[in-house]
Amino acid sequence: MRLEGKVAVITGAGRGIGREAALLFASEGAKIVVADVDSHAETVAAEIVAGGGKALFIRTDVTDRETCQAMASSAVKEFGRIDILVNNAGIVRDGQLVKLTEADFDLVVDVNLKGTFNTTQAVVPHMIEQGSGRIINVSSVVGLYGNFGQTNYAATKAGVIGMTKVWARELGKKGINVNAVAPGFIQTEMTEGVPEKVLDLMRSKTPLGRLGSARDVANIYLFFASDEAAFVHGAVLSVDGGLIT
């Protein structure tokens, strides 16, 4: 197993890509901390345990620094260490510039950008102490190239890339690898309310002719978390079916 004996904290693990990653990492031998703001995420931890794995649900609001610190401390108390952090939690609140509210701008920044900062700052001291770790930040192709109606989302995902580059410089000498994943159009709960004609447009723009699946992205999280990516550092890998070529 590729993650045998490792401990992975995955934020936003209650559904979508985060849930898929939690189940995949567990199948590869990792102990999972399901860190999510919604208590329904406890079912993910229960599913892992029912399958013979080890998992712990910790209610975590990534916008709240104290709960992030408490989550990291609880994870170490339960499992003894943290080897992998996947900063997967994120939200969208779309709107064209002239219509975008300040509240929606601030909320997306707080979750996607500051939340990534809060969680990483809570976990990194434990990784530094043990002399190793993997941080996987979740950006988006929107953070690389922008998208109509997503001023706030694009800004946060570009910021995540910027933080990834800085942390790679700062933490590499501490034995910590830092990389980012930039998904394209992925079919998750977030896209369930999107009109079919919009989904068809997304498919038509993607050279592979389909939307990505949660497993497509989770597989890349697994790669970055595994020993196979030991010399990959400060990278941003697009998982977009060729959308950006």
Q: What is the DSSP letter of 162?
A: H
Structure tokens at 232: 């990959």
Residue corresponding to tokens 């900062």: 117
Pick from 164, 220, 193: nearest CA to 20: 220
CA quadruple 121, 40, 212, 152: dihedral, nearest 10: -50
168 and 234 Cβ atoms separated by less than 8 Å = yes
Q: Which residues contact 201 (CB under 8 A, 6 or more apart)?
A: none
Catalytic residue set: 153
Q: Is the dihedral of CA 93, 97, 100, 102 positive or negative?
A: positive
State residue 28 phi and psi, 5-degree precision. -100, 15
Phi-psi group of 182: left, alpha or beta (phi > 0 → left; psi -120 to 50 → alpha; rest → beta): beta
DSSP for 20-54? Answer: HHHHHHHHTT-EEEEEESSGGGHHHHHHHHHTT--
